[in-house]
Structure 1
Amino acid sequence: SVVTIGNFDGVHIGHQHIVNRLVKQSKLLGLPSVLISFSPTPQSFFTHEKATLSNFRQKHQLLKKLDLDVHLIIKFDREFSNMSADDFIQTILIDKLQMKFCLIGDDFRFGSGRAGDFKLLQDTSAQAGFKVENTQSIVRDDCRASSSTIRDLLAKGKVESAAKMLGHEFSISGKVIRGKQLGRTIDFPTINIPIKRKISPVLGVFAVQVDIVGQSFNGVCNIGKRPTINGENILLEVFLFDFDQEVYGELATVVFKQRIRDERKFDSFDALKAQIILDTQSAKTYFN
């Protein structure tokens, strides 16, 4: 096989370039293309929790669109984290995958203590019978395309700039759950989607498009802890325009179009309702 390795969070334009190069090489050699990622990510396993740009379902679907043959997910646990870099190359890449071509970043580290790198793969390649190639960075708007840069853009509410670097609009998917139905009491019923990740890359109020039950609807969302009701967990609440359907349990994809404001705490539900009216007007102005 031909192989690349990484987290590929968000499958941004830099990742797309790598996968396209991998697929091209796989066709030249007549071998399957394999992308290795890890669950959980090494960063989260070692408690360096970060906001993720895509959940497993989204990442897998984005990779599938790029004509990749195999998305191999390795369970990252204590035993695997203790595997030496040499053992990883021999056991996983050579014995199991019979790797003939490896496409990897020159800053990629692997194996116990992060001892493995591009140079180790190069040094091993001739004797083991595979070729190794360095991935090239992709630049957009004078910035290197990277998941960390995109996370920074989203944290600042710059969803349009993030979309350019992602190569697609940022979205969050999940199944609609039954909430406390407090929105109904102020004439703004919402669909609620739990955020399973501990840290969300976006917070605040946004104009959004929601794809659900085979249709697309415009709306306004709040993503955060809902300080007005002293909420503790991050929740995505969306008020959809011209929508009146029961969709509990349905998969919804919320596409973030434009940031409207920060989330904040209000002294009363009346004050919250007045602000939601303004937020709704802002969102409708955007879509118009």
Structure 2
Amino acid sequence: MEFVRGSHNLRPRHRPCVATIGNFDGVHRGHQAVLSALGEAAARHRLPATVITFEPHPREFFAPERAPGRLTRLRDKLRLLARAGAERVLCLRFDQRLAAQPAEAFIRELLVEALGVRYLMVGDDFRFGRGRQGDFNLLAQAAGELGYELERMPTVRDEGGRVSSTRVREALAAGDLGTAASLLGRRYQVSGRVARGEALGRELGWPTANLRFGGRPPPMRGIYTVAVHGLGAPRPGVASLGVRPTVNGRETLLETHLFDFSGDLYGRHLVVEFLAHQREELRFDDLEALRTQIARDAEQARDWFRCHGLPEDNDRRMTP
């Protein structure tokens, strides 16, 4: 899959194409249905399937304090989009210039002139352009004049309603990993490069591999049974995702203790697969109480693996 960062990097070879537009956070089953339909259109038109997305998320630009947690970082989103069939991703920087662009200019300058879109798929609720004035109806009015085919995104539903990123976030926040996995079509995973921390886990006798979140952290907190990928065969472990209230932490970290493992993990890119939610993040009176609880958490995770075993190391995970 080809990644193009910014419309200024588009070249004549990037046109014409078929395209869809969205944030695609999580690349859940609804997004996968969109990309499947886009792939069928690409085959009919014999053109590449192009995904247009934004960085940062528009809600992070307009109201960062109210923006939701991210399900996927850009790197993971790209990997999942490629796996779902995208042949090219154009990532537009969402800034004041893009927010102020008139909707008509977005259609003519980007979709028609820069990309040569012959087929476009968007949702009924898609809004774009200055003051969010652009919508599906405006795209439909322009389609005949500018020569592209327009289609609505398919809607995927289950017994809980429409499959959406919002529902995935709500399930994760509630510790309902089963519902989240059903909506995503896979277990929820976080990937990143192991960073140096304060070595508190090592001092307590439970060394951890720490992953940081440069932007919005995932919409979940607590202690989890996890499998770690990126070290050969999957490794069992227990993880804490949160701010470490016992030591007055502020930064959200994913701290993972791997069972029966020794070695230097700093700088390694790992994928942490969430298998079971154990409990909420708690504040303890002292480090000794924290140490005791970590031992209980680890034993609970080991019990889970004794019952269920390790997940297969298959292509559905986000391989580093």
> Which TM-score bucket, shorter chain as reference?
over 0.9
RMSD: 1.1
In structure 1, how many angstroms separate the alpha carbons of the residues matched to 2:214 and 2:186?
22
Unaligned residue ranges in structure 2 (runs of 5+):
1-16, 307-320
Q: Of residues 31, 35, 43 in structure 2, which corresponds to 1:15?
A: 31
Instruction: Confirm whether residue 145 of structure 1 aligns to residue 163 of structure 2.
Output: yes
**Structure-2 residue corresponding to 1:37:** 53
In structure 2, how many angstroms separate the alpha carbons of the residues matched to 1:55 and 1:144?
23
**Structure-1 residue corresponding to 2:278:** 260
In structure 1, how many angstroms separate the alpha carbons of the residues matched to 2:202 and 2:105?
58
Q: Which moved more, 1:197-206 or 1:128-137?
A: 197-206
Contact 2:221 / 2:241 at 8 angstroms: preserved in 1?
yes
In structure 2, how many angstroms separate the alpha carbons of the residues matched to 1:122 and 1:41?
25
| TM value normalised by structure 2 | 0.88
Residues 221-240 of structure 1: pairs in structure 2 closer than 5 A: 221-240=239-258
Displacement after TM superposition at 1:148 (Å):
0.6
In structure 2, how many angstroms separate the alpha carbons of the residues matched to 1:141 and 1:212?
35
- What does the per-residue CA deviation read over 1:76-116, in whole Å, with 9 as the maximum and x for residues that have no partner? 11111110110000000011111111111011111111111
SS at match of 2:239: strand
In structure 2, how many angstroms separate the alpha carbons of the residues matched to 1:205 and 1:89?
46
* Paired residue type of 1:249: G
Residues 8-87 of structure 1: pairs in structure 2 closer than 5 A: 8-47=24-63, 48-87=66-105
**Structure-1 residue corresponding to 2:194:** 176
- What does the per-residue CA deviation read over 1:184-205, in whole Å, with 9 as the maximum and x for residues that have no partner? 2222111111122334311010
| TM value normalised by structure 1 | 0.97
**Structure-1 residue corresponding to 2:154:** 136
Contact 1:140 / 1:164 at 8 angstroms: preserved in 2?
no
Displacement after TM superposition at 1:158 (Å):
0.6
Unaligned residue ranges in structure 1 (runs of 5+):
none
In structure 1, how many angstroms separate the alpha carbons of the residues matched to 2:139 and 2:218?
35
Q: Which moved more, 1:190-199 or 1:82-91?
A: 190-199
**Structure-2 residue corresponding to 1:2:** 18
Displacement after TM superposition at 1:49 (Å):
1.9
Displacement after TM superposition at 1:174 (Å):
1.0
* Paired residue type of 1:78: Q
**Structure-2 residue corresponding to 1:192:** 210
**Structure-1 residue corresponding to 2:14:** none
SS at match of 2:71: coil
- What does the per-residue CA deviation read over 1:124-167, in whole Å, with 9 as the maximum and x for residues that have no partner? 11111111111121012332100011100000011111011011
SS at match of 1:279: helix
* Paired residue type of 1:286: W
**CA separation of 1:66 and 1:198: change in aligned 2, threshold 3 A:** closer
Q: Which moved more, 1:23-32 or 1:183-192?
A: 183-192
In structure 1, how many angstroms separate the alpha carbons of the residues matched to 2:110 and 2:288?
60
Contact 1:210 / 1:252 at 8 angstroms: preserved in 2?
yes
Displacement after TM superposition at 1:269 (Å):
1.4
SS at match of 1:62: helix
